[in-house]
């Protein structure tokens, strides 16, 4: 005699994730990053509001449930976005959760609390829009799960070391370390012209005025205090370029790029500083052809590299060098 299929049996059988990739050509509610849809069945007698349901039944914490609702990633069974305050009804709801995927990038060093990636140039560390298909965050979540996060950020075109936290405790400690500048971080850069002596650049930095480039910064007396030490390493006579070590003591946006450009030693390959703003605009719109970029900026990528990172964690001193090169 067959047993009756109860609601709870059905719920148990359907608790596995219904996983699929939302491809760029197959939009679902405007989301094109790699997400999974988690289907969560609603008990028949439930009269909960959606946020409480996400906490109690989906086992999400308060912060994540608020973020998902605010970003429109919670849907009813008819694929309509649910708003905070609405009561759940129907057979189930669906939650779109970010699921990192890998393209083969692995950390070069890790402990039980943190890891370090050697990021190639051209990879963003974090999604900037729903159209972002792949970032370093994909690798972080793929390797270490939902609790892992970035301790700091570097620009998309800057290559080199990025520190990753694996859980909430290390996230708090290491982010505080970066905020308090309790670390040493050195960069390598190839710049235009000959740099003969070590240079200290202490010009203030602020958002550029009279510029159509929204992300552009500039040096200014009324800018935020900024300090960068520059040391020449090798001069290339045939190209009139110098390999330098840059050590920023503050963390302003585009600090090394802005400071070097301000003293006449623009970083080779920089698609924003020291070039015509029409070219910079084409770059930001992703319409700048490679040959035009090489001709106008000197290289197909920004020649800036996060080469060295040292810090103390749990009374252990860590000194980490990049394995990549410019």
Residue from 76, 155, 171, 270 carrying the catalytic annotation: 155
Cβ atoms within 10 A of the Cβ of 238, count?
A: 5
Measured between alpha carbons, how far is residue 2 from residues 5, 6, 13, 164, 282 in Å?
9, 12, 17, 52, 67
Residue 215 to residue 130: CA distance in whole angstroms:
20
Residue 288 to residue 233: CA distance in whole angstroms:
31
Residue 72 to residue 259: CA distance in whole angstroms:
40
**Structure-token match 């080199």, residue found:** 160
155 in active site? yes
Residue 220 to residue 290: CA distance in whole angstroms:
32
Contact 77, 38 (CB under 8 A): no
Contact 165, 151 (CB under 8 A): yes
Residue 8 to residue 43: CA distance in whole angstroms:
9
Strands 304-313 and 159-165 turn out to be parallel
- Rounded to the nearest 10°, the torsion over CA 167, 173, 179, 180 is -170
Closest CA to 111 of 71, 151, 77: 151
Task: Locate the DSSP E strands across 46-113.
Answer: 74-76, 92-98, 109-110
Q: Return the active site residues.
A: 155
């Amino acid at each position: 005699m067959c047993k009756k299929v109860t609601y709870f049996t059905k719920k148990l059988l359907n608790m596995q994730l219904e996983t699929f990739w939302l491809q760029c050509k197959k939009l679902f509610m405007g989301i094109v990053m790699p997400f999974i849809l988690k289907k969560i069945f609603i008990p028949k007698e439930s009269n909960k509001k959606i946020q409480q349901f996400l906490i109690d039944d989906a086992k999400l914490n308060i912060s994540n449930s608020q973020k998902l609702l605010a970003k429109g990633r919670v849907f009813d069974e008819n694929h309509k976005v649910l708003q905070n305050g609405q009561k759940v009804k129907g057979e189930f709801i669906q939650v779109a959760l970010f699921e990192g995927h890998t393209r083969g990038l692995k950390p070069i060093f890790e402990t039980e609390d943190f890891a370090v990636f050697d990021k190639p140039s051209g990879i963003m560390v974090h999604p900037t829009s729903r159209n972002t298909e792949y970032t370093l965050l994909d690798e972080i979540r793929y390797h270490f799960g939902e609790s892992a996060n970035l301790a700091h950020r570097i620009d998309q075109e800057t290559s080199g070391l990025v520190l990753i936290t694996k859980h909430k405790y290390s996230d708090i400690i290491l982010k505080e370390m970066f905020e308090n500048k309790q670390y040493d971080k050195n960069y390598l850069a190839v710049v235009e012209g000959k740099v003969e002596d070590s240079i200290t650049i202490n010009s203030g930095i602020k958002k550029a005025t009279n510029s159509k480039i929204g992300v552009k910064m500039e040096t200014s007396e009324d800018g935020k205090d900024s300090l960068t030490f520059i040391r020449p390493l090798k001069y290339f006579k045939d190209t009139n370029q110098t390999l330098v070590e840059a050590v920023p003591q503050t963390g302003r946006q585009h600090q090394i790029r802005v400071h070097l450009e301000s003293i006449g030693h623009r970083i080779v390959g920089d698609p924003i500083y020291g070039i015509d703003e029409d070219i910079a605009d084409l770059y930001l719109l992703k319409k700048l052809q490679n040959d035009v970029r090489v001709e106008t900026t000197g290289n197909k990528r920004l020649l800036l590299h996060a080469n060295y990172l040292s810090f103390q964690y749990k009374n252990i001193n860590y000194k980490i060098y990049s394995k990549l090169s410019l």
